[in-house]
Amino acid sequence: MGSRHQGPLAALCSLVLAGGCHSPGQHDFTSTRSASIADPSEEADRLWAAIQETLRRNRFELDRVDRRSGIITTLPEGSQHVFEFWRRDVATSYDFWEATINPIRRWVEVTVALDADRQWENVSAVVHKERLSSPDRQFNRSGAAMQFFGDNLPSTTGLVRVADTHDRWLDLGRDSALEDRLLAEMFRHAHLTTPHD
């Protein structure tokens, strides 16, 4: 290919890559769907069961299930990467590649809000996203690369050995795209419609 064609081709590739891998926007409002459901009722039972089933289908393990308080939480779960094609706990291509390149985990918090008459007013979902941060290891010889994921290497900051206790999970904020998708699935599994539908 001639050199005069390489410039436009490189520009086109850059645009495609930039458009497909940009970071999703963050928002500060809560991902919510209105419910207006009496409790106890068959609809409330269906929705409560659908919330739990949706979280399980997305491979989240339930931690707290408290209907009286209207709260369901999950345990942190490592996010889908390129070799886990059967999973679907990421909602965007950016999140998919981010979890492939970095150790990322997510956990979910679902809240059912009550109105003044103790009716279910709305359902909110918050997906917390965290990234693993581990001290850098020192490499003094080529064979040390084989021990990169172990705890036999010293750190670049002066630790004699880097162990799991030195790892930290950094808060990356919320995953709003997954929040919206989970809420839609919860209401669909409960056979309920909202103004969003």
**Arithmetic mean of pLDDT, 58-83:** 93
Instruction: Please report, to the nearest 10 degrees, the dihedral formed by the alpha carbons of residues 73, 79, 84, 89 taken in order.
Output: 50
Whole-model pTM over 0.75: no
CB 71 within 8 A of CB 55: no
Q: Where are the alpha helices (DSSP H) in 27-175?
A: 42-57, 93-101
Given the candidates 3.40.50, 3.30.420, 3.10.620, 3.30.310, the CATH classification of the domain at 31-131+167-189 is 3.30.310
Distances (CA, A) of 118 to 52, 68, 70, 88, 114: 21, 11, 11, 34, 5
Domains of the chain, residue spans:
31-131+167-189
Q: Kindly report whether the peptide bond that precedes residue 76 is cis, defined as omega within 30 degrees of 0.
A: no
CB 109 within 8 A of CB 126: yes
Low-confidence winner among 37-51, 117-131, 138-152 (lowest mean pLDDT): 138-152
Q: What is the pLDDT of residues 159-196, one digit of tens each?
A: 555 556 667 889 999 999 999 999 999 999 999 876 55
**Arithmetic mean of pLDDT, 85-103:** 86
Residue 8's pLDDT is what? Answer: 55
Instruction: With a cut of 80, say whether residue 114 has pLDDT above it.
Output: yes
State how far the Cα of 89 lies from the Cα of 24, in Å rounded to an integer. 15
